[in-house]
Chain A
């Protein structure tokens, strides 16, 4: 097996950087790295699409409480407050549905955070994969 590793070095070198590629950045000259970044971009875009789809099925807005006094007794009513175009909608929520709605709103928040994370990651990956003519620190091959 020890002999194998010596032999391997010759062929495995095809995966790694060559001197004539010195003007390129790592992403351009290393096919494995660039491939992984492209796959990662694809994975992020796919995940983002799926999460956005799941997000669209969840209720948006926030819960607000209105307290009313009636015959010296305080009653609380829950409303889902959300924007629909120009107007703000206050939708009354029955107390039976309150628990489920709270869960869905929490899940929506979680999804929104994930969307933000994936959007940032996609921007970063696209920037990395953007091919440049010449990079900082690249030296001429002598």
Chain B
């Protein structure tokens, strides 16, 4: 896994304090920061500049079978950082402070909607979402302000966005995802992107959606191993 270091201050409070606390209990050994808050890291380490950010901070939890070494009460830890816990109507656990909300996400297998998942090792409830493993399988470690944060590589983040944006119900969110992809695309490492694409197994329908997303941002789908105008079929040899 790549380790990138900087002496610059990337995150302001209360985000910085929260990340440091999570890092101190080994949260980033298996889990990572995702969502729009990876953008400050991308700006620092990959030269990807995207300033729009939402107020929700998402973390992807990588569930490991049979691992019982952690068992840390993350809820208590986050509350000790001044965040207020609450549950939404759908039973999703969130933490709020000064307008920021924290939520946890886990990879969802299969296509059906699932109820929030209780992660016993961390004592929190996470939302199961599809394709999250694309990001958790391709991480990089960033060391800033004396602590380490794990985040997805831009190539994995890009492919994940390209897949999920097609499934977005709200047009505004789709547009935001497209804009993020358009900003990331010129900075992608082709070899690493190919590696990410080779590692995922998606249906023809999903690849077709990715191809359409590629066309929307004028990104050659061939780089992802897709043909440009042939009804979403994968290129030969894939």
Q: Could you list which residues of chain A lie within 8 angstroms of chain B, going by C-beta atoms?
A: 1-2, 4-5, 7-8, 10-12, 15, 31-36, 38-40, 43-44, 46-47, 49-51, 53-54, 107, 110-111, 114, 117-118, 121
Please give, as numbers and ranges, the residues of chain B lying within 8 Å of A46 by CB-CB distance.
88-89
Please give, as numbers and ranges, the residues of chain A lying within 8 Å of B89 by CB-CB distance.
46, 49-50
How many residue pairs at the A-B interface have CB separations less than 8 Å? 94
Q: With A1-B190, A43-B56 given, is the CB distance from A7 to B173 under 8 Å? A: no
Please give, as numbers and ranges, the residues of chain B lying within 8 Å of A38 by CB-CB distance.
172
Total interface residues on B, CB under 8 Å, equals 33
Main secondary structure of the interface of B (DSSP, over half): mixed
Is B30 located at the chain interface by the 8 A CB criterion?
A: no
Q: With A8-B219, A12-B218 given, is the CB distance from A32 to B52 under 8 Å? A: yes
Which of B19-27, B95-103, B108-116 lies at the binding interface? B95-103
**Which one of A8, A36, A107 lies within 8 Å of B172 (CB-CB)?**
A36
Q: Is the CB of A35 within 8 A of B175?
A: yes
Q: Is the CB of B217 within 8 A of A32?
A: no
Give, as a whole number of angstroms, the nearest-CB distance from B99 to chain A: 5
Residues of chain B from 92 to 143 with CB closer than 8 A to chain A in the complex: 94, 96-99, 101
Q: Considering the chains assembled together, what is the distance between the CA atoms of A40 and B94 in angstroms?
A: 15
Give, as a whole number of angstroms, the nearest-CB distance from B93 to chain A: 10
User: Please, which residue of chain B has its CB at the minimum distance from the CB of A124?
Assistant: B99
Is B45 located at the chain interface by the 8 A CB criterion?
A: no
User: Please, which residue of chain B has its CB at the minimum distance from the CB of A113?
Assistant: B84
Residues of chain B from 178 to 228 with CB closer than 8 A to chain A in the complex: 178-179, 182, 185-186, 188, 190, 216-220
Q: Considering the chains assembled together, what is the distance between the CA atoms of A113 and B146 in angstroms?
A: 31
Q: Is the CB of B182 within 8 A of A8?
A: yes
Q: With A32-B172, A35-B171 given, is the CB distance from A11 to B52 under 8 Å? A: no
Please give, as numbers and ranges, the residues of chain B lying within 8 Å of A39 by CB-CB distance.
54, 170, 172-173
Q: Is the CB of B54 within 8 A of A34?
A: no
Please give, as numbers and ranges, the residues of chain A lying within 8 Å of B173 by CB-CB distance.
35, 39
Q: Is the CB of A34 within 8 A of B172?
A: yes
**Most central of B98, B170, B190, B218 by chain A CB within 10 Å:** B218
Q: Is the CB of A35 within 8 A of B99?
A: no
Q: Is the CB of A12 within 8 A of B186?
A: no
Q: With A32-B172, A117-B98 given, is the CB distance from A50 to B88 under 8 Å? A: yes
Q: Is the CB of A1 within 8 A of B186?
A: yes
Is B176 located at the chain interface by the 8 A CB criterion?
A: yes
Is B86 located at the chain interface by the 8 A CB criterion?
A: yes
30 chain-A/chain-B pairs, Cβ below 8 angstroms: A1-B188, A1-B190, A2-B186, A4-B220, A5-B185, A7-B218, A11-B182, A12-B179, A12-B217, A12-B218, A15-B175, A31-B171, A31-B175, A32-B52, A32-B172, A32-B179, A35-B170, A36-B172, A39-B54, A40-B54, A43-B54, A43-B101, A44-B99, A46-B89, A50-B86, A50-B94, A51-B84, A54-B87, A117-B98, A118-B99
Give, as a whole number of angstroms, the nearest-CB distance from A136 to chain B: 23
**Which one of B52, B101, B186, B216 lies within 8 Å of A47 (CB-CB)?**
B101
